[in-house]
Structure 1
Amino acid sequence: MTCATTIERSTDIPKGAPGHLSFVHLHAHTEYSMLDGASRVDEMFRVAADAGMPACAITDHGVMYGVLDFYLSAQGTGVKPIMGMEGYLFLGDRRERPGQRDNSERTCHLTLLAADNTGYGNLVKLSSKAWLEGHHYHPRSDHELLAEHSEGLICLSGCLSAEIPKLIVAGDRAGARRKVAQYREVFGDRFYLELQDHGIDVQAPLNDELVAIGKEMGVSWVGTNDSHYTHKADSGAHDVLLCINTATELADPQRFKFDSDEFYLKSPEEMAETFKRWPGACETTLEIADRCNVTMSMGEPVLPRYEVPDGKSLGAYLHQLVFEGVDRRYDDVTPAIKERTNYELDVISKMGFEGYFLIVQDFVNWAKGQGIRVGPGRGSAAGSIVSYALGITELDPVGYDLMFERFLNPERIAMPDIDIDFDERRRGDVIRYVSDKYGSDHVAQIITYGTIKGKQAIRDAARVLGFSYGEGDRLTKIYPPLIQGIDAGLACALESAPELRGAYEGGGSPKEIMDTALKIENLKRSAGIHAAGVVIGRNPLIEHVPLKRGEHGEVVTQFDMNGIEKLGLLKIDFLGLRNLTVIELARDYIAKNQGIEVDVDSLSLDDPLVYEMLRKGNSDGVFQLESGGMRRLLTQLKPDRFEQIMALIALFRPGPMEQIPAYIERKNDPSKVAYLHPSLEKITEETYGILVYQEQIVQMLQILVGYKPGEADLVRKAISKKDRTIMAAEEPRFIEGCAKAGLELAEGRKLWALIQPFAGYSFNRAHSASYAYVAYQTAWLKAHYPVEYMAALLTSVKDRKDDKPKYLHMARKMGIDVTIPDVNSSERDFTPVGDTVRFGLS
């Protein structure tokens, strides 16, 4: 088991050579202050490093969204990351819910920085409780929370919107002094008076008074710049963000805007000039940075505690359940099956993931016990015989020749990734079970960050600049389509789309719009909730990650899925799949309408009626096979085996689609089958000599070069991600292996060139098999019980205005009469009655 990666930071802040100016920005907003901060994290560190600044802080508005990104981005820059937040402090009880104006007047800003790991933990708790207990327009803490979680935190008195500056500006100097004394009592010598000067009239006299108070009361002062963008030239892009946030135009004289263009990451020289009137303000930034030393551990799995029977270890209990499952799954447990099972268990044990499999099997089998339909598998998990034996997946990995190392690679320790499909009606029940079992404070959903993509940037820029909707819409219509669902970006679009480039080069409004769009493209725009991701903590999650509330009261992490994984927390995707709902509804309808209990989990995969229907292209309403393009391909392919459905699902995507004509031709005319090399015939025989699956690349690397399975999968993954370093190192080894296998040098190079693009878009065989199985189940139900299946399908889309008419038309085309609603006989949903479907009332 590898140890956690603890990233150490130097605690020694260099003061610089004589005459050298240094400074640390302790109040800086990033793009995670959404639609208010325009600084990209990596760029902030480049600027800080180039200016010789030894550290830099992150202090976003009321959130810690960007803290982990900030911490990791600092690696290798020589700039220490300081974790902080500009919190919202409510002057009263955070549980109060006053009116908007009263709330605004009583809510202040406050700058908080983590001095050590205890302080970081308290910052997480403050941010979380502000959301979970105090959210009202903003996530608000109060003085009670500050006192409770002050240890290890450095507090700066804040900007013009903070409590002490507000009192001074209002003329209440005595009140300001009382508050300084209160903060000092809570934070001790970790409390500093914050000075800022952006050329705003009130700031200089405010700073004079703060310094006077500091001298009088023995409190140090420090200069900050409340940075919201990285360069002075970025103030225009920041202005655009503010307009997007407030739905205004730049030309609107009443819109919200900053009072100057000085809110950027200034150089030490600029800050020295700004604060020369208040000696010590810049030097104190170095003192504070020297005090801030947080380390974060990553890489060590932090799995929830799974309770096993007395006297059993996690490993022993997993071994027991797995071999009980193997005996249940296989009529003949061959030595090969035992060997594979023991091998997988050994890999799982060495990686320390016994608890992971016990946790997943527990909620999956609970769901099945409650009559909740669970998908047969998703992703690479179906390649594990342990998963199959435990009931996590339903496809025999031995029978379908599925690869374990594609799921759990012994060459690279990483948390398994098992995503589970559930009947979408009951997904919430499974999450509630997990929440009840491990504790509601141990379970949360996972945040997602929406970014301003190319088309959206164009629309936003056009509106903010005051152009008509049509002007922005015209440009988005000539924006190139997504490539495999990915937006390559506006710069690439200008290169690849001649019409768009022509509009830009023509100048005028298109150029102004796109120049503005380029400045805001890919900045964070909004926070949402991952459609399926759930995190389960060993301890209450507030001890692991900052939390927030979703729009409907959900508890959500402030770190996204990637951050959750880096911290070693257990993340599982609980997905609701409508087609599983359709299967269950159809089974219920068949039982009620015909008195037959149908078992769709033990179907023969060579049913002639199913393949006859598919060969005719009558796959409307069949999972994965219902698009117009797929129906046409089915008529050309004329499938007669389950493996052909698997391959079609894998190939029907941008990239591999170009292989479909050759696949169809070879399937229908065996004389056309050709293999890349005789030694590769075995691994591509099923797919007629064509590479279809990722596992085939792994097998090719094993056969030709002699890689171990796990090692081969690492190379496949490196090629798919275009990791040039690994590719350059492996190419000679590959070509040398090909030569030893009897290939000519040119043949070896040709094969290496062939797998470059294929590795990037090839599909996982285990996933193809799992989804092909659901496709077959739905096709079987449609072929054998069309009335009940159509009633189920219509019920599943009853609230979808686009899909319901499509399936009504499909039912009538099949000769199934759909009767009009009848208040006396219709039920809530569509229901089969004999050979007809009765319209539902809901």
Structure 2
Amino acid sequence: FDELLENSNGVSIFSGTINGFFGRLYKKGKFSEIKKFYKNLKSKFEDRFYLEIQRHNDDNEIGFEKFNLACSLELEIPIIATNEVFYMNKDMHEAHDALICIGNKTYVNDKNRLKFSDQHYFKENLEMLELFADIPEALENNYNFPKRCSFRPLFSKPILPNISSEKGGDASEILRKESLDGLIFKFKKFFNLEESQLENNEKFLQYKDRLDHELDIIIEMKYSSYFLIVSDYIKWAKNSDIPVGPGRGSGAGSLVAWCLSITDVDPIKFNLIFERFLNPDRISMPDFDIDFCEDKRDLVFEYLTKKYKDSVAHIITFGKLKARMVIRDVGRVLGLPYGFVDSISKMIPFDPSRPQSLTQCIAGEPRLQKLINEDTRVKKLTDLSLKLEGLNRNVATHAAGVVIADRKLTEVVPLYKDAAANLLLPSTQFDMYSAENAGLIKFDFLGLKTLTVINNTQKLAQKKDKNFNIENISYEDPKVFELLSSGNTVGLFQVESAGMRDALTHMKPNHIEDIIALVALYRPGPMSNIPTYNDCKHGRQTPDYLHPLLEDILKPTYGVIIYQEQVMQIAQKLSGFTAGQADLLRRAMGKKKRAELEKQKQGFIAGAVKNGIGKDVAAGIFLKIEPFAEYGFNKSHAAAYAIISYQTAYLKTYYPKEFIAASMTMDLSNQNKLSEFYEELKRLDIEVIRPDINECFADFRTDNEKFYYALGGIKAVGYEAISNIVKERLTNGKFKSINDFLNRVSPKDINKLQLEGLVKAGAFDSINSNRQALFNSI
């Protein structure tokens, strides 16, 4: 309230409804307190404070009106006639009433629930004139009030923290310096070149040209701060032993991102295009999706909260009342029997990939139509559901989205804190699209458990070889490709499904480009091109390069157009498109917008003719690349994920026990997955120490030749409880008998069900081999 009084300039205040702040005080009989507040507001807002007069026939409204009219005369505060609008038409009242019950988890026939009259619809002028005919000054103030307003919300420019004030110097200068420093560091690390050798090095100059080109676009589009913010929290995470993915999405196509350690993918090595990520011809915010280790992602949020105090929040999402859900919810508040409502909702098809509206569901289901015609309860249920379908039902938090602003977020958007959810950050009350319109920039923090597996495997591997680092592995190791070609890929990222194994055995990959291609091809649509790729790779078929000029572009994929980047390169090579224009062509092909596609086609053919290619030949090439472009995959994303796939394959090749131990620990509660890994251990001839209370640990471990099964992986045994039991064993020695075990273990850590689980798994066999007797004695 004090903040409201301090910031009164340019603001008008209405006193509110019977259910508002002053209305609630009125119901409690706090009349003198209300008058004090009114005097306070009048002194600050002068003639910009109005007492609202409303006539909805709600409880206590008439008494509150009389009180406000008396205060208006006594304190000389203007009155204004208003109508609280919850819905457009009067016939929506019953549906709104049901919605209130859904929100408050009550029933329509509950007498003690929150209830509104049927007057909360959008009234026309004549209705308002008639309703408030006895107090014309209230109507006059209503009529004049809009003339006092001169504000309209505008789309805001992107709001980002000011990096320049933090580091000294302009954000663009800082970006140029840090990018060049990063490039020099990469050349030292990956190309073994010292700084003194770089000036005349052809490769370095090629990279430097690309870097300058990208920086010019980023700076011109005013996104320097964005890159620096992302780079800052990624570097912090890497320095804090928080695994970060090599990249995700089109951001991996940026050399600046590679130099700033945002990604670990060299875009020039993999022939990736920056304009696929940031196109000067198509103004849109850059969007880095960053994968973090699932277990430590919250630490990154903590860092951001400290660095950008009060300026960081999650993004809210709203659950909608969809066809099935609205039937269930409305049926419940109407008091209809659960089984009856359930049988109706099951008539509505549930297919998230092809959602249908309730109207479509009714039109396609004769049984439901029959019930609507014959049963008045069903008629009422569907009528109300049709009016409520699509409205917001509940609030949740965007799985990965976070916004960061240059000032307190409360100055930009309203915030929401869910008391029930254990979240470090508040949420914006605006959804993703409205938050962007308000100028807030979304940063994505995704959790990827494979990064945790890689990190944990590396720690286990370092017990054998303390110098081992996953960042320094070779991506041309024949043994790794041998493993991939065998199809024994249980636990490997992106390539462990039965279909992928089959594809790998036929493809016989022998370089990283094959893995990138497979990640991109193994999807509905382009999947049909896998045999062509394989046949051309193994010399059973001659690749079709469409035109001699395109051989360089299509040679790495044996004539098959797999990537969106290839479509862009074809447009650049044949038709002289800029990278930005080529990206617009790619989008037009992917979106299948006929008018835009026709316009792009004409430009493509005209450009090709200028380059000496026949009109018919150019049109033919366009027709051939069009279907590929529709299914084309983003190579930047495929390359980043292929790197993770290769890393997991490398670890399984050289550190199989460590890799499987880390993988199984990540899937402790997934019995099906544990069984799959157990079969893999048997195939690899790895000796597994069966669950033993005196030998094994809470998680899966490996020690020289032995592989210890996790006690935490036994059904009904909790990980935390068993961790405490293992801690007791390590501190005070092995358990000598079942009585010794029970005397030493805290009752909080073991109950009857857990003890039975351990006995049935044979964890006590080394103490007492008679499981049945032990089980019966519990």
Range of TM-score over shorter length = 0.7 to 0.9
The answer on whether the counterparts of 1:249 and 1:255 sit within 8 Å (CA) in structure 2 is: no
SS for the counterpart of 1:573 is: strand
Give the Cα separation in 1 of the matches to 2:563 and 2:34: 69
Determine which structure has greater relative contact order: mean sequence separation of CA pairs < 8 Å that are 6+ residues apart, divided by chain length. 1
Instruction: Please name the residue that 2:124 is paired with.
Output: 267
Instruction: Please name the residue that 1:223 is paired with.
Output: 81
SS for the counterpart of 1:696 is: helix
Instruction: Please name the residue that 1:573 is paired with.
Output: 444
Residue-by-residue CA offset, 1:732-783 (whole Å, 9 max, x unaligned):
434544666646659738845963x765653211011001100110122122
Aligned pair partner of 2:416 in 542, 548, 561: 548
The answer on whether the counterparts of 2:164 and 2:174 sit within 8 Å (CA) in structure 1 is: no
- Bigger mean CA deviation after superposition, 569-578 or 736-745: 736-745
Deviation at 1:587, TM superposition (A): 1.0
Q: Do structure 1's residue 241 and structure 2's residue 109 form an aligned pair? A: no
Deviation at 1:584, TM superposition (A): 0.9
Larger radius of gyration: 2
2:435 corresponds to which letter in structure 1? I
Deviation at 1:666, TM superposition (A): 4.7
Instruction: Please name the residue that 2:766 is paired with.
Output: none
Deviation at 1:581, TM superposition (A): 0.6
Describe how 1:10-89 pairs up with structure 2 within 5 A.
none
Deviation at 1:150, TM superposition (A): 3.9
Residue-by-residue CA offset, 1:482-537 (whole Å, 9 max, x unaligned):
33xx7464456667xxxx53444444377766555443332222222222222222
Instruction: Please name the residue that 1:258 is paired with.
Output: 115
1:611 corresponds to which letter in structure 2? F
Q: Do structure 1's residue 444 and structure 2's residue 308 form an aligned pair? A: no
Calculate the aligned-residue CA RMSD, in Å. 3.4
The answer on whether the counterparts of 1:738 and 1:748 sit within 8 Å (CA) in structure 2 is: no
Aligned pair partner of 1:305 in 162, 166, 173: 162
Deviation at 1:792, TM superposition (A): 0.3
Deviation at 1:163, TM superposition (A): 4.6
Give the Cα separation in 2 of the matches to 1:682 and 1:492: 50
Q: Do structure 1's residue 527 and structure 2's residue 395 form an aligned pair? A: yes
2:325 corresponds to which letter in structure 1? Q
- Bigger mean CA deviation after superposition, 676-685 or 354-363: 676-685
Please list every run of at least 4 consecutive aligned residues from structure 1 whose deviation after the TM superposition is greater than 6 angstroms. 169-175, 308-311, 509-512
Describe how 1:713-792 pairs up with structure 2 within 5 A.
713-721=583-591, 726-727=596-597, 729-737=599-607, 742=613, 748=619, 751=622, 755=626, 761-792=631-662
Residue-by-residue CA offset, 1:353-378 (whole Å, 9 max, x unaligned):
33332332222222222332221111
Residue-by-residue CA offset, 1:124-161 (whole Å, 9 max, x unaligned):
xxxxxxxxxxxxxxxxxxx4444344443322222122
- Bigger mean CA deviation after superposition, 280-289 or 171-180: 171-180
Give the Cα separation in 1 of the matches to 2:451 and 2:522: 22
Describe how 1:86-235 pairs up with structure 2 within 5 A.
143-165=1-23, 177-200=35-58, 202-204=60-62, 206-235=64-93
SS for the counterpart of 2:462 is: helix
Deviation at 1:817, TM superposition (A): 4.3
Q: Do structure 1's residue 320 and structure 2's residue 177 form an aligned pair? A: yes
Instruction: Please name the residue that 1:561 is paired with.
Output: 432
Instruction: Please name the residue that 2:561 is paired with.
Output: 691
Residue-by-residue CA offset, 1:660-680 (whole Å, 9 max, x unaligned):
455455545642643455554
Give the Cα separation in 2 of the matches to 1:534 and 1:699: 34
Describe how 1:404-553 pairs up with structure 2 within 5 A.
404-436=274-306, 438-465=307-334, 466-469=336-339, 471-472=341-342, 475-476=345-346, 479=349, 481-483=351-353, 487=355, 489-490=357-358, 500-508=364-372, 516-550=384-418, 551-552=421-422
SS for the counterpart of 1:426 is: helix
Give the Cα separation in 1 of the matches to 2:538 and 2:382: 50
Give the Cα separation in 1 of the matches to 2:624 and 2:76: 70
Give the Cα separation in 2 of the matches to 1:620 and 1:514: 49
The answer on whether the counterparts of 1:827 and 1:840 sit within 8 Å (CA) in structure 2 is: yes
Give the Cα separation in 1 of the matches to 2:287 and 2:101: 41
Identity %: 37
Indicate the structure with greater helix content.
2
C-alpha change, 1:310 and 1:444, in structure 2 (3 Å) is: closer
C-alpha change, 1:231 and 1:769, in structure 2 (3 Å) is: same
Give the Cα separation in 2 of the matches to 1:731 and 1:283: 60
Residue-by-residue CA offset, 1:181-235 (whole Å, 9 max, x unaligned):
3432343222212122224465345435533442443322222222112222323
The answer on whether the counterparts of 2:605 and 2:615 sit within 8 Å (CA) in structure 1 is: no
1:276 corresponds to which letter in structure 2? A
1:566 corresponds to which letter in structure 2? N
C-alpha change, 1:367 and 1:711, in structure 2 (3 Å) is: same
The answer on whether the counterparts of 1:211 and 1:278 sit within 8 Å (CA) in structure 2 is: no
Residue-by-residue CA offset, 1:263-319 (whole Å, 9 max, x unaligned):
222222333333334324333223222223334454533221225898754333332
The answer on whether the counterparts of 2:311 and 2:405 sit within 8 Å (CA) in structure 1 is: yes
The answer on whether the counterparts of 1:624 and 1:775 sit within 8 Å (CA) in structure 2 is: yes
Instruction: Please name the residue that 1:371 is paired with.
Output: 241
The answer on whether the counterparts of 2:485 and 2:508 sit within 8 Å (CA) in structure 1 is: yes
The answer on whether the counterparts of 1:275 and 1:281 sit within 8 Å (CA) in structure 2 is: yes
SS for the counterpart of 1:533 is: strand
The answer on whether the counterparts of 2:576 and 2:608 sit within 8 Å (CA) in structure 1 is: no
Give the Cα separation in 1 of the matches to 2:645 and 2:417: 37
Residue-by-residue CA offset, 1:451-495 (whole Å, 9 max, x unaligned):
233443344344445253575467557625333xx7464456667
C-alpha change, 1:701 and 1:278, in structure 2 (3 Å) is: farther
The answer on whether the counterparts of 2:155 and 2:437 sit within 8 Å (CA) in structure 1 is: yes
SS for the counterpart of 1:293 is: coil
Deviation at 1:541, TM superposition (A): 2.3
Which structure 1 segments of 5+ residues have no match? Answer: 1-142
The answer on whether the counterparts of 2:308 and 2:404 sit within 8 Å (CA) in structure 1 is: no
- Bigger mean CA deviation after superposition, 423-432 or 785-794: 423-432
Q: Do structure 1's residue 709 and structure 2's residue 579 form an aligned pair? A: yes
- Bigger mean CA deviation after superposition, 305-314 or 232-241: 305-314
Which structure 2 segments of 5+ residues have no match? Answer: 192-200, 713-718, 720-778
1:559 corresponds to which letter in structure 2? F
C-alpha change, 1:572 and 1:226, in structure 2 (3 Å) is: same
Give the Cα separation in 1 of the matches to 2:343 and 2:573: 53
C-alpha change, 1:248 and 1:178, in structure 2 (3 Å) is: closer
Give the Cα separation in 1 of the matches to 2:360 and 2:605: 34
SS for the counterpart of 1:391 is: coil
SS for the counterpart of 1:421 is: strand
Instruction: Please name the residue that 2:483 is paired with.
Output: 613
Deviation at 1:346, TM superposition (A): 1.7
Give the Cα separation in 2 of the matches to 1:690 and 1:492: 40
Deviation at 1:337, TM superposition (A): 1.8
Instruction: Please name the residue that 1:88 is paired with.
Output: none
The answer on whether the counterparts of 2:87 and 2:120 sit within 8 Å (CA) in structure 1 is: yes
The answer on whether the counterparts of 2:247 and 2:290 sit within 8 Å (CA) in structure 1 is: yes
Q: Do structure 1's residue 341 and structure 2's residue 215 form an aligned pair? A: no
